[in-house]
Structure 1
């Protein structure tokens, strides 16, 4: 009887200690790894979120850039990190594209667990302002009349800008040439200069160049019109019903991270992403804030994986 009492007491003390230990998270700074260069769209948003996330969790949240190999270097770093909630991956659309371009990734996607989708952002189909194309149908008509003569730019095969154009081309059975660049900025410069006929570029990068009369936006890639370009029609409502090609950002943790830690992180992320400040900042960037559940994010990733796998296979797309 005495032994049973001691065991009961020990168990109660152990559970109490475990509860206190888990409740203490976070006890030290958290690192958000961005697998892209400083100053880019993902880096900018990650820093906005990190600042507010630190306030919510009462700790420092540090953003660490680990660019290279289309985001796979940084993702691999997090996949191999200790699953304790102190290392988070802030990734973007290339996460869904890379498995179908690289012969082998340095990590298994199962080594990372989806935590929350953060944002969705449309792309804009842009031409220079003095282009003969007044709308998207003009561009399509010229492409059909002159197979293989039109060209389009992108920041590289691993970008959604490239695949948005490829999906557009495949759906309309057009023959066009792809001109790859190392990033989206130089590609936009050559659209402005007339060296390239068109491209799908981020709304955030495109919108400021519309009013000065440098760019014309023919359509946007989201199902709904962009708040930054409300007068511009969507590809879906004009020429390809159901067409959509989003930039997305989301957050992951290493597989095996304790449930209570994930719940703490997720609750804080949802509160931050749903906050008026982040919503406003994302809207200014042409993006829509999305705070999803881990399951919703996982389902979204499955859909993206299937979609871009098919586009890449049909287009026989290789790494630049």
Structure 2
């Protein structure tokens, strides 16, 4: 290439020019490596959340987004696409470019929907690349404070004599499925009372209209501490940090029972291996942050047990199989 302003004949480069040229030559490979390691060439990453602002999935997205942004060195934007029990957001991400620039942050309904809905606008098993499960959150079986059952064994005894009512936030909701699994594992029949949302359901349990509710720990904790709800058992295999005196279902006499709410992050199918590795490493770094860990524990949860995230895909598949059986055996529909 001919220099537009060639140096005069006999020109010799200065020391400053030589140093600058050497520095540029050394920096070039590093800059190239950085560019190659960035997702989608460094353009902003959109974290598509399947539920509205203020919910559990949204809280997780806004907790992790700034830490993921710092870990990856590029902008991470949270975008809510609520609707159809998460199907709207999942469908959008399934159709997105498989370069890691559009990711799905969903809830445990991701594993329920394939069995709950006769047809989805995507194939759950093939349309996504699982990257991580961020955290798991137990539910807690609560009752009206004046309810005659003092523990889970009392609930089972009463239910065997006459079906007890339990509230949920709607047909096919996490609370509904928690009750259905309880029926299956405890060998009892309960009467499901569906509400339009967890708030109205919880209010009626506090008011005594319905005695039982499989509540989210984070949303019910304040009411439990205020004495407006009485906890009977948590639905995880280990006791919840926020409710250390409340037994697990296994401790309360119901073996083989575990219900967790959780938040996965998934990319479209076909994501290149190097992009997947970069994203997984970034998510792991974000989850290691003390602020993120503290927030998750404040909400009553724990970071996903497998820090490497190698088992995230298997966990999602196992959850899908669990709820498929419960939905089929209990003939659960959205209607």
The TM-score with structure 1 as length reference comes to 0.90
For residues 36 and 47 of structure 1, what CA distance do their matches in structure 2 show? 13
Give the deviation of 1:201 after TM superposition: 0.7
Say if 1:33 and 1:88, in contact at 8 Å, map to a contact too: yes
Say if 1:22 and 1:261, in contact at 8 Å, map to a contact too: no
1:40 is aligned to 2:16: no
Q: 1:169 to 1:298 in 2, by over 3 A?
A: same
For residues 106 and 256 of structure 1, what CA distance do their matches in structure 2 show? 18
For residues 233 and 294 of structure 1, what CA distance do their matches in structure 2 show? 28
Say if 1:78 and 1:87, in contact at 8 Å, map to a contact too: yes
For residues 198 and 158 of structure 1, what CA distance do their matches in structure 2 show? 17
SS at match of 1:118: strand
Aligned to 2:3: none
2:302 aligns with one of 288, 291, 300:
288
Say if 1:29 and 1:62, in contact at 8 Å, map to a contact too: yes
Give the deviation of 1:17 after TM superposition: 11
1:131 is aligned to 2:147: yes
1:249 is aligned to 2:263: yes
Moved more, 133-142 or 228-237: 133-142
1:63-142 alignment, distance < 5 Å: 63-109=78-124, 110-142=126-158
SS at match of 2:62: helix
Structure with larger Rg: 2
Say if 1:91 and 1:251, in contact at 8 Å, map to a contact too: yes
The TM-score with structure 2 as length reference comes to 0.87
Aligned to 1:194: 208
Moved more, 259-268 or 150-159: 150-159
Q: What RMSD, in angstroms, separates the aligned Cα atoms of the two structures?
A: 1.9
For residues 163 and 307 of structure 1, what CA distance do their matches in structure 2 show? 11
For residues 163 and 84 of structure 1, what CA distance do their matches in structure 2 show? 35
For residues 17 and 232 of structure 1, what CA distance do their matches in structure 2 show? 54
2:290 aligns with one of 258, 276, 301:
276
The unaligned stretches of length 5 or more in structure 2 are 1-29
Say if 1:115 and 1:293, in contact at 8 Å, map to a contact too: no
For residues 227 and 101 of structure 1, what CA distance do their matches in structure 2 show? 32
Q: Deviations over 1:16-40 (max 9, x none)?
A: 9996753343512110001111100
The unaligned stretches of length 5 or more in structure 1 are 1-15
SS at match of 1:63: strand
Give the deviation of 1:46 after TM superposition: 0.8
Q: 1:283 to 1:80 in 2, by over 3 A?
A: same
1:56 is aligned to 2:56: no
For residues 235 and 24 of structure 1, what CA distance do their matches in structure 2 show? 45
Say if 2:107 and 2:263, in contact at 8 Å, map to a contact too: yes
